Structure 1
């Protein structure tokens, strides 16, 4: 009887297990719990908003060379991560997204289709296999957008890239960018030398990506179709234009502002000037943003070397090179930039009463001071600027920032200069989400700070040596997306380090380096001895070694063999410690966890059986 009960219990446990598996796969597939530290397998609120705004069905074709990538463990793990996230998009889209997972085998129709989409096959592996690892999306009107290759180095922005592609498919119309400036962006005749100058490189890049409209400081209002407004070194803007910009911002329009304490790249403005060539944009104070255009940041650590009129080279603390250490690696705009050059930066901050949120994108080093812009404009000698660096007042300043949140309009009502015909919409007095990126410098847009020009068979070739243009394009691209897309930041990465293993490796490698340095030192000494021996043989014509020389050589060979044996022992101990740790983890994963689960199920079954027996006895007694 006892055997029958035990067998029945085991049978019921198996049935329960299979039933739970079926229920999980069929009914609970859309419900997941992401227990990772950075929630890398779930969607952020911004991505969910992008999915909620989908009006038409979208097809996502995920191409990964599964068969050709055998043995590429790291790449295949990342591919599983990408596929899992894409499946999450599909399950959360309410049927608006269809995901196709395709293995483009060589010489197949799938490979031809991947190439037609413009996906790039990377040559990887020991024998140079062509690996496709990209995403191609289409919408109902056959618009196509792609991610050519999922770079594991950009895993932190994987969700942003996928959400951006989905947003582009849902909003396929070209983005309208309005440039507000009086600078000669499109080139023309240089008034200093009479020569024709090409368009600024950043302007050419934007024109290739977006529909760009340029207006001057004398315009009365913004074009109605503006999606992104780029303001560069504004001065003397009319009240009607300021009101138009203010209302654009209050209606959650996106603005990229380049404001400068001293725009020194304008040759005409600098001729005979006795004061700083400052930008003027009074709306910032009303919105709760403090761009101190009366100050210029001098950085004793990041100042770039320039050539003086005398021909010498000296460091200029006002011309700054922002490296990866000063750029925000968590924001999509600056995450992959390495160098941004600029001059006479203005410090950025929020007003004390502001409700906005300021996220620094670029900052100076801690070896920086803020000096009067007027004094800076009059100081032509870098040596005098270096003397302005006061050791007692140095601090870190924000130079580029993303600013968002609630803000009040700078106008209580439409200005009297606006006629009824010009007001197409009612006055908006407040926004809950200001979308603004402020750069405290406009000089960084000038080619001389980031592009080198060379002549090649009569054509001018532009070669960037800094990432200024990339930052402008990244900022414009980010602002061109929806509010939901702008809100998405870099997420964590799925790969978690084995800290214990890394500690073991570091310890062994330290010992290895010590041994290696010993060996290298002895090798150098022996080579010197052998070189001396060669010289002696050359001078005397001797063909044999003396007993002392032979003894020295035998001693070195013996020491070298001993050190090599010690090196092998160090490597063996390293691998032995790692193997022990691996075996311990395997024991926990393979043996202990299932035993714990079985024990819990056995206790549950025993408890249920006791309750059943008790009820049976009570029923018999009754």
Structure 2
């Protein structure tokens, strides 16, 4: 028996070792077989770790081979850990480009060291060097080369990681593009940073202009010129001042000939220092009237989109004239706004498309029904004035719209009547060369209307840097942190109107902070109740003050120095009413906090206990099954 047992044990051990060896061999064989195959599963909701369809379509359209040189100082000592981790993620993303391009992209990942040939080439291409305390240079940039063309991303800002895919794909598309885009800009705001006057800008171009310059040639156009540059892909009108009649006619001719427009028309542009002196008549009204468009001169006030701002008393308050638009206010099925989740529009106006307009209109941005139009002068008086005079109309107001179709001719008989030229200009040959007389109506050929597109936004302040980005300094370089979709909205509009719609599907995949929508809804409900009671209090306060003043006018002689019995009764009644309403307001705030706190407690319980409870229940279920098998063996 013992010998037999030993033989069986030996055979069992031999079988076990043989099986283990075979298993190890199979695992090694599988690893070798699939080592060149990249299998990935992106489990995120928005597929943020996968290349978007827009990028894939652009890669498939490439005909020439593109070489990507990624300069990344992967130094664990000198490179800050978070930037080093970001640099590695950039490398992973670039490998995705190389894999999906099917040989059309060749990737080179280079780690420049001090006084190396890679460092010299990086500087020669224009990749920015980040100096360190030890004198070494760190690099985090990308160079794209194709035949005799090159595009450079000098510094891949970690703060803009959410738009990294767009920046890379835009660079590749620009490299493969046969012709550069041309965009004309007519602006009453100093978006180009050229004004030498104090308080009027002059600090360099606004950030969105720098972004446009990366992929297009910009043509600044003076408001008093008589013609537009040729071959424009897009014309941007940004809160234009008084336009010359000939320029109005040129714009009319441009759009009726199929040219696309992007217009920012603001009833109260905070970024315009002259806006405090009152807004003049909109110079585009003759065009709007012909197109069936009505742009209001009032400001949309919406308590459901109020923005938390520091008030005049240095306390944070909800300002309903600064609109923080969320996904409910943004159209989700349009190329321009799909995927956008957060916009800030300070003191925006509204637009209405009349029934007589022949254009097809698609709303991009709109307010909630808890909104009302108000005079800009009244809005500037402060939050108390808004609360006292606000009365919701129950309708939504459109703040951005996309119009398409053949645009009607605004000036069929040529330019509108021009003012007489200044006397000193009559004999100036140079002036006549710069501003030749406009062609007479008789010389105008019959215009053939071609379909065009117009994106009209009733706010210009959303373009200002401070309303969508904050700046930080790192190692002497300025980095930008984008905190909402204002820039995305503008660039999306430019991409679609100037002919690159594929890039829109990339940028709109940016990952934004997800708001606590339930908490936001609770705050909105309490805000509505609070506002109604506050307005009631203010009305009663004004009525009591009016009654006291009426009694004051009735007093005579020595009675002017003391309160009458009627006045004392009125004051006592008002103070009692004020105390009662203040108690109700405090109760509303307590109820709001109680609802939000209760929601927070439920979320904590769910987060802390859900997974342990799930594991316990799973363990109990497994134990029950095993015990059941033990009691009833087969």
- Structure-1-length-normalised TM-score: 0.54
Q: Is the 8 A contact 2:183 2:219 kept in 1?
A: yes
- Structure 1 245/427 Cα, relative in aligned 2: closer, same or farther at 3 Å? farther
- 1:81-480 equivalent positions in 2, closer than 5 A: 115=68, 131=96, 132-135=98-101, 172-187=178-193, 191=197, 197-270=203-276, 273=277, 275-276=278-279, 279-376=282-379, 379-391=380-392, 393-415=393-415, 419=437, 426-427=444-445, 429=447, 431-454=449-472, 461-480=479-498
- Please tell me whether residue 72 in structure 1 is matched to residue 40 in structure 2: yes
Distance 1:286 1:457, change over 3 A: same
Take 1:452 and 1:187, find their aligned partners in 2: how far apart are those partners?
Answer: 18
Report the Cα distance in structure 1 between the residues aligned to 2:270 and 2:230, rounded to whole angstroms: 32
Partner of 2:328, secondary structure, is helix
Q: Alpha-carbon deviation of 1:309?
A: 2.3
Cα distance, 1:257 vs. partner? 0.4
Q: Displacement of 1:561 after TM fit?
A: 10
Deviation at 1:330, TM superposition (A): 2.4
Relative distance call for 1:67 and 1:479 in structure 2 (3 A) is farther
How far apart, CA to CA, are the structure 1 residues paired with 2:470 and 2:479? 8
Q: Is the 8 A contact 2:292 2:355 kept in 1?
A: no
Q: SS of the counterpart of 1:346?
A: coil
* Partner residue in 2 for 1:50: none
Deviation at 1:182, TM superposition (A): 2.7
Distance 1:457 1:242, change over 3 A: same
- In 2, the alpha carbon distance for the partners of 1:321 and 1:117 equals 38
Note the residue ranges of structure 1 that are not aligned, 5 or more in a row.
Answer: 1-65, 91-96, 101-112, 147-157, 491-512, 524-558, 573-622
The Cα shift of 1:188 comes to 5.2
* Deviation digits for residues 232-268 of structure 1 (CA, Å, limit 9, x no counterpart): 0023212111000000001111111000111122224
For 1:208 and 1:281, locate their aligned partners in 2 and report how far apart those are by CA, in whole Å: 29
1:178 Cα offset (Å) = 0.9
CA separation in 1, counterparts of 2:93 and 2:201?
50
Cα 1:520–1:249, aligned 2, differ >3 Å: closer, same or farther?
closer
Residues 64, 146 of structure 2: 8 Å contact kept? no
Q: Give, in whole Å, the separation in 1 of the partners of 2:332 and 2:455.
A: 16
Q: CA deviation at 1:373?
A: 3.9
Paired with 1:411 and 1:486, the residues of 2 have a C-alpha distance of: 35
The Cα offsets for residues 437-488 of structure 1, whole Å up to 9 and x where unpaired, read as 1111011112221222445677655433222222222211221118xx6999
After superposition, the C-alpha distances for 1:541-588 in whole angstroms (9 at most, x for unaligned) are xxxxxxxxxxxxxxxxxx99984545559999xxxxxxxxxxxxxxxx
Mapped contact 2:495–2:503 kept (Cα < 8 A): no
CA distance in 1 between counterparts of 2:295 and 2:439 reads: 37
Q: State the match for 2:141 in structure 1.
A: none
- Correspondences of 1:25-36 after superposition (within 5 Å): none
Mapped contact 1:291–1:348 kept (Cα < 8 A):
yes
**In structure 2, do the counterparts of structure 1 residues 335 and 185 end up closer, same or farther at CA, with 3 Å as the change threshold?**
same
1:394 to partner: Cα distance: 2.3
**Inter-CA distance 267–522: structure 2 relative to 1 (3 Å threshold):** closer
Q: Note closer, same or farther for the CA distance 1:522–1:339 as it changes in structure 2 (3 Å cut).
A: closer
CA contact (8 A) 2:252 2:287 kept: no
Offset, 1:314: 0.9
Secondary structure of the corresponding residue to residue 236 of structure 2? strand
Counterparts of 1:439 and 1:404, CA distance in 2: 15
TM-score (norm 2): 0.53
> Conserved in 1, the CA contact under 8 Å of 2:265 and 2:459?
yes
Note if contact 1:298-1:368 (Cα within 8 Å) is conserved in structure 2: yes
Q: What is residue 4 of structure 2 aligned with on the other side?
A: none
Against the structure 1 CA distance between its residues 567 and 314, is the aligned structure 2 distance closer, same or farther, given a 3 Å change threshold?
farther
The Cα of 1:290 is off from its aligned counterpart by 2.1
CA offsets, 1:474-521, max 9 Å, x none? Answer: 211221118xx699999xxxxxxxxxxxxxxxxxxxxxx99x979949
Instruction: Tell me, in whole angstroms, the C-alpha distance in 2 between the residues paired with 1:249 and 1:371.
Output: 32
Is this contact kept in 2: 1:262–1:277, CA < 8 A?
A: no
- Root-mean-square deviation (Å): 5.2
- How many correspondences in the alignment? 409
CA distance in 2, matches of 1:361, 1:82: 23
Q: Say if 1:445 and 1:80 are closer, same or farther in 2 by CA, change over 3 A.
A: closer
- Structure 1 contact 228–480 (Cα < 8 Å) conserved: yes
Alignment correspondent of 1:527: none
TM-superposed CA distance for 1:298, in Å, is: 0.8
Summarize deviations over 1:295-347 as a string: whole Å, max 9, x none: 21111111111112221111111111122332223233222433221222121
Q: SS of 1:402's equivalent? A: strand
- Separation of aligned partners in 1, 2:321 and 2:179: 42
Q: How has the CA–CA distance of structure 1 residues 99 and 69 changed in structure 2, closer, same or farther, with 3 Å as cutoff?
A: farther
- Residues 432 and 566 of structure 1, relative CA distance in 2, 3 Å threshold: farther
